[in-house]
Structure formats: C-alpha cells, structure tokens
C-alpha cells in the first residue's frame, strides 16, 4: 500500500513540475513568450533583473504544471534558473 501511494504521489509531483526546454519567441518588458515542445505558445512574467538576459531563439528551461489532460491547459510555474 505504501508503494502504491508513493508511486501515485511521485507521478503527480513529476507531472506538476515538468521541466521542458522551450525556445524563446520574444521578450517584451517583463513578459516572455516561449514555444513548448508540443508546439503551443505560452507566456510568462519574468523578473526585471532577467529581462536583458533572454533573447529570441534562445533555449530556456521552463517548469510547467502538466497535470491537465489537454495540453492547451498547461500552466507555467516559472523558469528554472
């Protein structure tokens, strides 16, 4: 029983904190647009201290919450620094 509960919670945690390599489409002020490997475009807010660090075409690690079945409902938790 403990193993089953551990597997379930481990799977949920992994899907809720999935790190994906995404291409930066652009940065405007403190908002960044990225392309998920599934082809969908997502936007996220970044701290002002990091605005000049990212450029179009660069690959960044983004943490997603992918618990939903539909890939259009994925949520960005933030960048992995």
Q: Give tens-digit pLDDT for 51-75.
A: 889 999 999 999 999 887 777 788 9
Residue 44 forms beta bridges with which residues? 32
pLDDT in tens, 22-51: 999 999 888 999 999 999 999 999 888 888
pTM of the model: 0.82
C-alpha triplet 80, 75, 73: angle, nearest 5°: 150
The residue that leads in pLDDT, 9 or 51, is 9
H-only helix segments in the chain: 2-16
CB 45 within 8 A of CB 37: no
Helix, strand, coil in percent for the chain, rounding step 5: 30, 40, 30
Query: CA-to-CA distance for 54 and 78, rounded, in angstroms?
Result: 14
């Amino acid at each position: 029983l403990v193993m089953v509960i551990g597997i379930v919670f481990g799977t949920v945690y992994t899907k809720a904190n999935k790190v994906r390599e995404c291409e930066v489409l652009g940065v405007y002020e403190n908002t960044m647009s990225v392309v998920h490997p599934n082809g969908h475009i997502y936007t996220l807010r970044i701290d002002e201290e990091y605005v000049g660090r990212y450029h179009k075409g660069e690959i960044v690690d983004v943490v997603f919450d992918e618990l939903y079945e539909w890939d259009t409902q994925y949520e960005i938790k933030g960048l992995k620094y």
